[in-house]
Amino acid sequence: MNAIKLSAAELAPLLIDRIQQQPYCQRILHGRGKKYAGYEYVNIEWYPPFLFVQNFNDTLSDDLNHALKIVFEEVSSIDAVLIQSREWPDFVTQSLFSRKEVELPLIYKAPLSEDLHCEIKFGTNLNTGTFLDMRVG
């Protein structure tokens, strides 16, 4: 499989479209799946109203940072873009962009479907406890 190369200008609309597809939690970019060249070091998940970026690299690329800024500015339903830097053995979660102050750790009920919610904890654990890339569909 050949990886798709996307600039920030191309990545932002893709992320926006996926966020707007459904009102429930979902993985919107599985960079570690190697489908998108240059984004192999991140996973991006939508936990309405939080966009959660798992960064497995030293820093975010300028392209990704720019794309996330565009998405945040275009999608008013995003309260915050949270970045989890996951350099082994440590991890740090912080707010990259937010409409109001976000205090971490953050615990809330995330909508997995209309009838199912899951308690998500940002900033306390390495994993959220949900595996959104395993959803059928």
In this predicted model, what pLDDT tens digit does every residue of 6-60 receive, in sequence order?
A: 888 899 999 999 999 989 999 999 887 778 888 889 999 999 999 999 998 888 8
In this predicted model, what pLDDT tens digit does every residue of 85-106 receive, in sequence order?
A: 977 667 889 999 999 999 999 9
Residue carrying the six token digits 């190369």: 5
Element (H, E) at 28: strand 26-30
CA-CA distance, 63 to 26, in Å (whole number)? 22
In this predicted structure, what is the pLDDT of residue 35? Answer: 82
Give the start-to-end residue ranges of the domains of the chain: 4-131
In this predicted structure, what is the pLDDT of residue 137? Answer: 46
CATH number of 4-131: 3.30.750.80
How much is the pTM?
Answer: 0.89
CA-CA distance, 120 to 129, in Å (whole number)? 7
